[in-house]
Structure 1
Amino acid sequence: MSKFRDFFVRNKKKLLIGAGVFLSLLIISFVAFLLNRERILQFAVAKVIKKVESKYPADLQIGKAEFKDFNTVLVTNIALLPQNQPKLLQIDTVEATVSFRSLFLGRMVFKQFDVANGMVTAFKQDSTDNFSFLFKKKGKGEPADTTAKSSNYGTLLNKLIETAFENVPDGVNFRNMGVLFKNEGRTISMNLPTLLVEDGGIDARMTITTDSVTNTMYVKGLIDPAKYLLSAKFYGDSQSGSIEVPYIEQKFGATMRFDTLSLSITDKVYKNNQLTIRGESSAYGLVLNHPKIADENVTVQNGALKYVITLGDHYYALEPESEVRINKAIFYPQLTYETKPSRKIGIKVDSPEIPANDLFSSLPPGLFDTFQGIKATGTFKYKMNFFVDMAQVDSLKFDSDLDAKNFQITDFGPNDLRKLNTEFVHTVYEKGKPVRSFAVGPSNPNFTPFNQIPRYLKYAILTAEDPRFFTHKGFHEGAFRHSLITNIKEGSFVRGGSTVSMQLVKNAFLTRKKTITRKVEESLIVWIIENLRLTPKERMYEVYLNIIEWGPNVYGVKEAANFYFSKSPSQLNLEESLFLASIVPKPKQYRTYFDVYGGLRAYPRYFFKLITGNMLKRGLISSSEHASVSPYVNLNGRAGSFIIAKPDTTQIMDTLQLAPIDLLDF
C-alpha cells in the first residue's frame, strides 16, 4: 500500500494530465456521437422515404424525426399518400428505442416501438383505389408477374416465416390504432385500443366489425423468434360472449362461432426443399351451422388438432404424427396430395382403442343425434385407407374397418335401434321435410309379410342391389370401391355404394336430407345393427321392401304392385318383378323407360338381360325361366295413365347411370 502511495505522489502530475486528456477525448467522442446519431437518423429517414417512393406511386411524408432522449427516437405525423387517391396511412407518433451497438456501427436498429393514434383507410370502389398499387410495380404501371410462380410453396412459406420472425422487435406497444377496409361493397373495420408485445408476451384487445358482425375479443400469447414459436389465444369477454367468425356466411352459407380459439406454431424445419411445420389448435364451445353438414347447429365443446404439415415441390401432407381430438375421442389422420407427375390423393385414419361410452358421448349434438344418450361397454378401434392415382383410377384402393372388443349397448337412449323388430311408424321425408307417415306392421293393410313377397322380386332386387346381403355384415367394400371409381371417372355422383342394410337404415332411422356426415352416421348404425344382430336379416329385408319408394307417393311392395299392375305382390311375374327392381334407384323416372309404342327402351332391356343372367348363374331361376323372359311389361295399373306416348327426344342414358350398386358381378 505504501509503495502505491509513493508511486502516486511521484507521478501525480503525469496522472492528472493523463486523466484530463482521457476525459477530454471522452467528451469529444460523446459530442461527436451525439452529432453523428442525428446525421444517421436523418439519413435513415431519407433512405426509407426514397425506397418507398421509388417502389410505389405514393408519397411518404414524415413530419419530424428526432432523438427524444439518449437513445429514443420520436417520429411524428407519418402519412402515406397514394398519387391521386385518398390517404392510406396516418400515424401521429412513433417512439423507438435504438440499439447502442448499431449507432456506433453507423446504422440504426430499433429494439422497441411505441406507436400511438394511427389509422389505415383502404378503399376500392369505382374509380377509388388507394391500396392496389402495393401489389404493382411503379413505372409502367403493370401488375407484377404472377405467372412465374414457384411450385414449391414450402420454400415460399419458409421465407415468409423467417422474414416475419427475424423482424420482430423486442417490444411493441400499439395504442389506439384503427383499420377501415372497403372493397366492392364489403366493409371491415378494426379498432385496436391496445396491443402489447413485451418479453415475448402478447396482450391485445380489439373490436372487429365485418358487415353486420361485430366481435370484441382479447388476444393473449407468446412469441419467441429464435425458436420460431408463436401461440395465441382468442376469446371474448362475459358481455360480448361467443366470437362469430365473419365472411364465411356470405362466402359459404355457413355460420361459425366459438368461445375460445387457440392457435400455435411450435417448430419448423426446412430441409431438402421441404418445409415441415408443427403446431396445435384447439377450440372450446365451437358451434357450426351449414345445411350440407347437418340440419341444425353442430356443437363441439372441446376439439383440438395437433398437426405436422409438410409442403414441398408439388407435394402437401398432413403427417402421421398429427392428432385430432373431438371431446374424448382421438383419431390419427394422414393426408397426402401430389400434383405432379399426376395427381395422387391418399387418406388414412387410425385410432387407439376408444371406450365406447367416450365415443358416443363425444359425438357432437346436431351431427349424430341418433346416438345421443346411448350407453355402452367395450372399446372401438377404427382404421381406414384410401389412395387414388388420378392417372390410374382403376387401381384405387379403399378399405375401412371398425373393430370392437366386448361391445354391448346397455341403454339405447331416446332412439332405440331395435325398433325394426316390432311394428313402428315410418315417416317419409322429401327434401328434408316429412310428407307421409304409416305403420310398418300388421295394423297397416298395405303391409306385406316376407313370405307373401314373390321370390322373383326378392331375388331380382338382391341381385341388382346387394347379392351378398344375407352373408355380409352390412358393407360391401368391393362394390363401394367400384362406385368410387365410376364417380371419379364421371366427375360427378352417378353411382351409389349403399347395401340394402345401408338403404334400410337411411330410410328407417335418418332423414333423407343429404349432409356430409349422414353417411358416417348411417354406417355406424348399420355396423351396430349387423354386428350385434339386433334385427334378423329376413326382418330387415321385409321392412326394406315395405318402406322403400317405388314411384310418386308409392311406398312399399303392395302399393307398387297395385300402382303399376293392379295386382297383389304374390301375383307378380318375373318381368314385372324385374321392372320393379330396375326402378328402385330412381323410382320417379319410370316414365322414361317406355318408348312411343309402350315398349321398354334400351336401359331396362339391358337391365332385364344382365340381372336374369346373374340370377341364372346363382341358381335363382331355371334355364327355361331365363329363356322365356320377355323385354316387355304391361302397366295395367294407374301408372300406365302417366305414360305419354311421344317420340324419344331425350339423350340416350348411359346404362351405368341408373345402375344399382351391384349391377356387375363382384
Structure 2
Amino acid sequence: MITKVENKYPADMNIGSAEFVDWNSVVLTGISFVPDKLDTLFTTDSVYATVSFRSVFKGRIVFKRLVVTDGYLTAVKKGDQTNFDFLFKKDEAPDEPVDTTAGRNYGRLLNLLIETAFDNVPDQVDFKNLNASYASTSRTIDVKMPFLVIDDGHVESDVYIRTDSLVNNLRMRGTIDPGDYRISTSFYAADTNGIRLPYVQQKLDAQVAFDTLHLSLDSKRFRKENLTISGRAMVDNLVLNHPKLADEDIHVDESAVDYVLTLGPNLYVVDSLTEVRVNSARANVYASYQNKTSKIIDLKVKTEEVPANDFFNSLPAGLFENLEGIQAQGWLKYNLNFHVDMDSLEQVVFNSDLDASDDFKIVKWGNTNLQKINGSFSHTVYEYGKPVRTFTVGPSNAFYSPIHEISPYLRNAILTAEDAGFYSHNGFHEEAFRQAIIKNLKEGEFARGGSTISMQLVKNVFLTRKKTVARKVEEAIIVWLIENLDLVSKNRMFEVYLNIIEWGPNVYGAKDASRFYFGKQPSELNLAEAIFLTSIIPSPKRYRSSFDSYGNLRSYKSGYYRLIGGIMRRRGKISQEEYEALSPNVRLYGRARDLIVTARDSSVVEEDTTQFELETIDLLDF
C-alpha cells in the first residue's frame, strides 16, 4: 500500500506498525503522510479498520468498521505553494474532441459525489480527537472534533470551528442510510452565540446567524442525465443583515423549505412541489433556468388561502417597520407568474395577484396608521437617509394647496406623464412593470421602475428612500391595502402627492414650485408652465439643465412638449387650439430666475434627460 501511494503522489507515507487482528481487520499505528520537501499533511496515532467481506468480491474495498484516534490534517499555503495541491492534479489524457456546446452536467457531477460519499460510509465509525486546519497569510481555519460516532445508522458529533476570529461551537445529531442515499442531520449551537456563517460579511456584505440548522436528503433519482433530489432544510431563530435587503436585522423565528430539485444538462429546476415556509406562512415555488438554445427563466409562486392574521404575523421582524403589529381578519391568497426568454424579451410574462376574501379587513393598525393621510399630518423629507425638512401636509401650512386650487393643466399633464391610469387601476400597472422588466434586462441594469402615483405616494409618505428589497415589498403591500380597502380616496391621494413631491432645491409641493419658478399661484399656471413642471419630476435636482444661462428652455425640451401636448389633446384634456398654440417657452420669476439666469453661459447641458422622460411617457401611455 505504501509503495502504491508513493508511486502515485510525490510524498512519503510512513506506517509505524501494522498487524491483523483477524482475517479482515487490521490495526495501523504511527501513520504520517508528508509531501516531498513540504509540511506534513496528515498524521494519526492509530487506525483500526474492518473490511466488508462483500466489497472484496465487488472489486473495491469498503470499510465495515473504522476507528481513528488522534488524527491531524494540516493544510498550509505559503505564497503560491501548498502542501495539498498535488492531490487534485489530474493525469494527462490523450487529446479528445470536446463538445463545447453541451455544457457541464452538474446533475451528473452531484450524483457521482453523492454515490461516492454514501457508498464509502462504514457501518460503524468511531473517531476520537480529529483535527483539521488550514493556514495561509490571509486566512486561518481550525476544526476540532472530539468525537464522531456512526452506529446502526445514528450519527453524533461535537464540532469546534474557528474561522479567523469567528468561533462556532456545534453539536451534530442525525441518521444516515447509505443504501437508500438518505441522511438527516441537525446542527445545534452549543453556546449562546448561535451559529454564524463565516466570510458572508467579507464576500456579500451580509451577516447570517441562527440557533439550529436541519438538513436532510430523502431521495435521489438519476435518469436520462437528470438528477432529482428531495429533502428538507429548516433554520430556527435566523438573523439576517444585508444593506440591500433591509436597514435593520431581519429576524425569522422559523423558516423551512421542503425541496424537490432537478439538475441536468443546461437545466436547473425547483419543482412546484417545493414548499417554502416563513413562520406560519407557506407558499409553493416553481423556478427553472435552462440555457440549451437560449436562456429561459420561469418563476411561479402560489399560496393557498391563508388566514390574514397568520400572514401579517409571519412577516419577519425588522423587515417591514410600518406593518409590524398589524392585525387583520379574513383570508389572503397570492399568485405570481414570471417568464422570460432572453432571446425574445418582448414576450416577457409578468402577473402578480394578491386576492382577499370578502370579509378581509384590518382590525388593528401596527406601528403606522395608513389612514393618517386622510387628515393633516407631519411629513419629513429624507435625503441619503437623513431628514432635511419637516412640514405639515394640511390647511395649516401656507404652502398647502387643495386639489381644486391646482391648475387642471398641471394635474392633467402629471397624470399623462406619470400615471395615465391612476383613477382606474388599483395601485399597480402590470404592463408598466412588464415594460420596465424588458427595459432593465435589455440594458443589464436597473434603468426604469414603472411606479404608479400610488406607489410614489406611499414611498414618500411612509418609507425611507433607501433602495432595499424590503422597502419595495413593503411599498407594494401598503399600496395594496390602501387601494383595495379604499382607505384613501383617489382624489385625496393625488392631492397629497401634489403637495409633497420635490420640484427643486428645497422646493416641495405645487404651490412652492409655482412660486419658485413663476412667482404665481398653482391655480394660475398655464399649459406650458404645467408641462415644464411635469418634465422635471423624474429629476428635480437637475432643474437647471432645462435652461440656458438666459433663462430660456433648451431646444431639446420641444420633443417632450409635443409628446405630452399631443397625448393631452387626443384624450380631450386640451383643445386643438391650445395644442397648436403650445410652445416650449416659459418666463422665469422669483428665486429660480436668480439661480438660473445668473449662471454662467454654457451650451453644455448638464444631463439630457429627454430620452428617459419620453420612454417613461411611452411606458404609461396605454
Output the TM-score relative to the length of structure 1.
Answer: 0.88
Q: 1:105 to 1:505 in 2, by over 3 A?
A: closer
Aligned-partner residue type, residue 665 of structure 1: D
RMSD: 2.3
CA distance in 1, matches of 2:282, 2:91: 53
Structure 1 residue 207, shift from structure 2 partner: 0.8
Structure 1 residue 105, shift from structure 2 partner: 9.7
Structure 2 residue aligned with 1:352, among 301, 304, 308?
A: 304
Structure 1 residue 503, shift from structure 2 partner: 0.5
Say whether 1:660 aligns with 2:616. yes
CA distance in 2, matches of 1:119, 1:240: 28
Higher Cα Rg, which structure: 1
Q: 1:285 to 1:106 in 2, by over 3 A?
A: closer
Residue 7 (structure 1) aligns with:
none
Residue 171 (structure 1) aligns with:
124
Residue 646 (structure 1) aligns with:
602
CA distance in 1, matches of 2:305, 2:390: 40
Residue 476 (structure 1) aligns with:
429
Residue 266 (structure 1) aligns with:
218
Residue 4 (structure 1) aligns with:
none
Out of 97-106 and 439-448, give the one that drifted further: 97-106
1:317–1:335 CA contact under 8 A, matched in 2: yes
1:125–1:185 CA contact under 8 A, matched in 2: no
1:88–1:122 CA contact under 8 A, matched in 2: yes
CA distance in 1, matches of 2:398, 2:419: 28
Aligned-partner residue type, residue 592 of structure 1: S
Residue 276 (structure 1) aligns with:
228
Out of 60-69 and 94-103, give the one that drifted further: 94-103
CA distance in 2, matches of 1:474, 1:139: 63
SS in 1 for 2:611: coil
Say whether 1:550 aligns with 2:503. yes
Residue 346 (structure 2) aligns with:
394
1:431–1:513 CA contact under 8 A, matched in 2: yes
Structure 2 residue aligned with 1:316, among 223, 244, 268?
A: 268
Residue 233 (structure 1) aligns with:
186
1:155-554 alignment, distance < 5 Å: 155-237=108-190, 239-405=191-357, 406-554=359-507
1:249–1:255 CA contact under 8 A, matched in 2: yes
1:496–1:661 CA contact under 8 A, matched in 2: no
Residue 13 (structure 1) aligns with:
none
Out of 639-648 and 195-204, give the one that drifted further: 639-648
CA distance in 2, matches of 1:545, 1:376: 31
Residue 614 (structure 1) aligns with:
567
2:253–2:279 CA contact under 8 A, matched in 1: yes
CA distance in 2, matches of 1:105, 1:547: 78
CA distance in 1, matches of 2:92, 2:575: 85
Say whether 1:593 aligns with 2:549. no
Structure 1 residue 228, shift from structure 2 partner: 1.0
Per-residue Cα deviation, 1:530-566 (whole angstroms, up to 9, x for no partner)? 1110111100000011111112222111221222222
Identity across the alignment (%): 51
Structure 1 residue 311, shift from structure 2 partner: 0.6
Q: 1:299 to 1:662 in 2, by over 3 A?
A: farther
Out of 101-110 and 241-250, give the one that drifted further: 101-110
CA distance in 2, matches of 1:651, 1:442: 37
Out of 469-478 and 635-644, give the one that drifted further: 635-644
Aligned-partner residue type, residue 57 of structure 1: P
CA distance in 1, matches of 2:102, 2:10: 25
CA distance in 2, matches of 1:489, 1:578: 29
Aligned-partner residue type, residue 342 of structure 2: M
Structure 1 residue 103, shift from structure 2 partner: 7.2
Structure 1 residue 139, shift from structure 2 partner: 8.5
Structure 1 residue 442, shift from structure 2 partner: 1.0
Aligned-partner residue type, residue 585 of structure 2: Y
Residue 40 (structure 2) aligns with:
87
Structure 1 residue 604, shift from structure 2 partner: 2.8
2:148–2:157 CA contact under 8 A, matched in 1: yes
Structure 1 residue 602, shift from structure 2 partner: 5.5
Say whether 1:633 aligns with 2:586. yes
SS in 2 for 1:306: strand
Q: 1:459 to 1:103 in 2, by over 3 A?
A: closer
SS in 2 for 1:517: helix
Residue 22 (structure 1) aligns with:
none
CA distance in 1, matches of 2:49, 2:578: 95
SS in 1 for 2:488: coil
CA distance in 2, matches of 1:520, 1:651: 31
Per-residue Cα deviation, 1:7-53 (whole angstroms, up to 9, x for no partner)? xxxxxxxxxxxxxxxxxxxxxxxxxxxxxxxxxxxxxx24xx51x33
Q: 1:302 to 1:90 in 2, by over 3 A?
A: same
Aligned-partner residue type, residue 590 of structure 1: Y
Say whether 1:568 aligns with 2:521. yes
Out of 321-330 and 153-162, give the one that drifted further: 153-162
Structure 1 residue 598, shift from structure 2 partner: 4.4
2:542–2:607 CA contact under 8 A, matched in 1: no
Output the TM-score relative to the length of structure 2.
Answer: 0.94
- Where structure 1 has 5 or more consecutive residues not aligned to the other structure, the ranges are 1-44
Q: 1:149 to 1:341 in 2, by over 3 A?
A: closer
Structure 1 residue 275, shift from structure 2 partner: 0.6
Residue 17 (structure 2) aligns with:
64
Structure 1 residue 189, shift from structure 2 partner: 1.1
Aligned-partner residue type, residue 251 of structure 1: K
Q: 1:501 to 1:127 in 2, by over 3 A?
A: closer
1:586–1:658 CA contact under 8 A, matched in 2: no
CA distance in 2, matches of 1:233, 1:658: 56
2:62–2:120 CA contact under 8 A, matched in 1: no
2:560–2:614 CA contact under 8 A, matched in 1: no
CA distance in 2, matches of 1:304, 1:150: 32
Q: 1:263 to 1:650 in 2, by over 3 A?
A: same
Residue 6 (structure 2) aligns with:
53
SS in 1 for 2:621: coil
CA distance in 2, matches of 1:480, 1:131: 52
Aligned-partner residue type, residue 436 of structure 2: S
Structure 1 residue 158, shift from structure 2 partner: 1.0
Structure 1 residue 267, shift from structure 2 partner: 0.4
CA distance in 2, matches of 1:558, 1:125: 69
CA distance in 2, matches of 1:104, 1:383: 56
Aligned-partner residue type, residue 274 of structure 2: S
2:535–2:613 CA contact under 8 A, matched in 1: no
Aligned-partner residue type, residue 373 of structure 1: G
Structure 1 residue 488, shift from structure 2 partner: 0.9
1:585–1:660 CA contact under 8 A, matched in 2: no
- Where structure 2 has 5 or more consecutive residues not aligned to the other structure, the ranges are none
Structure 1 residue 257, shift from structure 2 partner: 0.5
Q: 1:596 to 1:53 in 2, by over 3 A?
A: farther
SS in 1 for 2:612: coil
